[in-house]
Amino acid sequence: MSQFLYRHKGYIVYGLISILALVWNIVTMGHSVPWCDEVMLADTPANMHIYGEWATTAFNAMGEGSKPFSVYLPLYTWLLYVWISIFGFSFLKVRLCEMITTVVLGGFLLRLGGQLAGKKLSLLSIALFSLGFWFADLMVMIYRMARPDILGALMTVIFAIYVVKNLKEQKKYTWQLMSFSGLSIVAGIQSALYVVLGLIFMTLFVRPVKRMLHPALCCLAGFVLGFIIVIAYMACFGEAKAFIVSIMNSSGAVMKLWEIARGIIFPLLGKEVTPLGYPDASPVPFYVKLLDIFAYTGAVILFMVNVLLLVLHKAWHHVKAYKMPILVSFFSIFTILGYNLAGRYQGYYMWTAILPMLLSLLIWMNVGKRLFAMPLVGISAIVMLGMALNSIPLTGDSPTDRIAAFVNQQHFKNTDRIAAPFSTFYALKPTNQNTYFYQIYPQNLIGEVDYVIIPEAGDDYNQVGMEKFLKELQHNPKYQVKKVSRLQESNLALYKVCSKTNQ
């Protein structure tokens, strides 16, 4: 046992810091209120676990003929259903699924860092890396969002590990490369794109280039296999077309390519070419999009420390010695450029740049001069830790607790039909199957409701749509709509809807 612990002491250090990070996150999690993506993705597995239906009342419909259905890449949905089936359904239990995935991701990142450094990582470097990994503001935001991004990151990191092994050992890891590239696309288009960008970046520097042929072919085969699995899954529910539409709608670049293609194809088929709407119609200059990531303090700190270490080591004079941390840090910039060219780089995709920044610092601490690397990374880690701890209160009622108490006070019957915002998801889902999250669910499909819960004096997702829904009920002569309760701290109001004909 002692020999085992000694051999794995680096992972033990990481594990201890991860436990402390988990405790902090569990205590403060209620301050991260349920939001649109989280509810849209968790609703289907929750419905299946609680009510035995693979269906949703928290997703939109993708065009004429489709029904509301979770058309996101399904790996996270499948995993979450298994998780809920084992551990049960609640706000904290759902959030813990991604937290545990984050723990696993950090362990594989350490393994990849050791491969790239080409030596055993020092315990101090592992400790400092772990602090940055858990407490950089962007990472805190991402792993608390209950989205598939951390799962996708895990698939891409394991894929990268096997690519490096393939190159170093001159051994073909065919099924591993195919499996994890396939899983990356089943986890999300963003993680599949990350794999592609990684392979392109490596091809620029690996010589001879033909060494990259086997990983690239395995990746392509994995993508094809993964996409076939997803299409087959969507087709089983009659939503294959809706799934394709959802992918196209998520990227301005894809939509522009489709606009060119349909301008050629539609006239040949005798169809009218109508204008397309774009997912990002804001006239934001491209250079501004490239700099979006630096709105986060953690990204600025990690980037600046990497630059300082590059300068202090005069790395341009010692490229061979410091090749690996230089390339890994440059991959962060390459990633930012690649995603923006692809047409979409939301905050929750920015792990793609943060992880290489963290990895490059880990490598610097093991191949560079410790006099430079350890103090700089140590100070940055402590600063990010302090900022994270200061950003979320440890005591007092959380917004999620207040919302749950507010819902419980209403004593809804389980047959009540409720139009509700995303923030009430965990409070209502276990007891009220007929709850429609009308911020995204098509309002024309809801039918009659008994109650409407609406955020007041706020700017929540689709606030205008919720207000329109309530006003239409208020102006409908068939109904009497009366405000019956209000949660002031979270700006939630409850309206009772009664049919005048039944009075």
Q: What is the pLDDT of residue 319?
A: 84
Q: What is the spatial distance between Cα 59 and Cα 439, in angstroms, rounded to a whole number?
A: 9
Q: What is the pLDDT of residue 77?
A: 97
Residues 6+ apart with CB under 8 A from 241: 62, 63, 65, 66
Bridge-based pairing of strands 492-499 and 479-487 is antiparallel
Taking the domains of the chain in order of start, what are their residue ranges?
A: 2-31+71-391, 399-502
Q: What is the spatial distance between Cα 236 and Cα 229, in angstroms, rounded to a whole number?
A: 11
Residue with tokens 């309002």: 443
| 136, 297 Cβ separation under 8 angstroms | no
pLDDT confidence band for 274 (50 / 70 / 90): low
Exposed/middle/buried for 415, CB within 10 Å: 0-12, 13-18, 19+? Answer: exposed
pLDDT tops 80 at residue 4? no
Question: What sign does the dihedral 225-229-235-241 (CA atoms) show?
Answer: negative
Q: Summarize the confidence of residues 387-413 as an average pLDDT.
A: 92
pLDDT confidence band for 278 (50 / 70 / 90): very low
pLDDT confidence band for 396 (50 / 70 / 90): confident
pLDDT confidence band for 172 (50 / 70 / 90): confident
Q: What is the spatial distance between Cα 51 and Cα 406, in angstroms, rounded to a whole number?
A: 24
Q: Summarize the confidence of residues 49-56 as an average pLDDT.
A: 96
What is the chain's mean pLDDT, rounded? 90
Q: What is the spatial distance between Cα 110 and Cα 435, in angstroms, rounded to a whole number?
A: 43
C-alpha R_g of the chain: 25
Tokens of 452: 């409407």
Q: What is the pLDDT of residue 169?
A: 84
Mean pLDDT lowest for which of 14-28, 35-49, 149-163, 257-271?
257-271
Q: What is the pLDDT of residue 253?
A: 53
User: Measuring CA to CA, which residue among 161, 151, 139, 158 is closest to residue 187?
Assistant: 151
Q: What are the residues facing 451 on neighbouring strands?
A: 418, 496
**Number of neighbouring beta carbons within 10 Å of residue 224:** 14
Q: What is the spatial distance between Cα 198 and Cα 203, in angstroms, rounded to a whole number?
A: 9
Q: What is the pLDDT of residue 250?
A: 63
Q: What is the pLDDT of residue 36?
A: 94
Tokens of 469: 């829904």
Give percent of the chain with pLDDT exceeding 70.
91
pLDDT per residue over 90-125, tens digit each?
A: 999 999 999 999 999 999 999 999 999 988 999 999
Helix (H/G/I), strand (E/B), else coil: 418: strand
User: Measuring CA to CA, which residue among 117, 95, 144 is closest to residue 10?
Assistant: 117
Residues 6+ apart with CB under 8 A from 490: 33, 399, 402, 403, 406, 423, 455
Q: 276 or 183: which carries more pLDDT confidence?
A: 183
Mean pLDDT lowest for which of 275-289, 323-337, 422-436, 447-461?
275-289
pLDDT tops 80 at residue 363? yes
Q: What is the spatial distance between Cα 141 and Cα 120, in angstroms, rounded to a whole number?
A: 31
Q: Summarize the confidence of residues 472-477 as an average pLDDT.
A: 92
pLDDT per residue over 206-242, tens digit each?
A: 989 999 999 999 999 999 999 999 999 999 999 988 8
pTM for the full model? Answer: 0.92
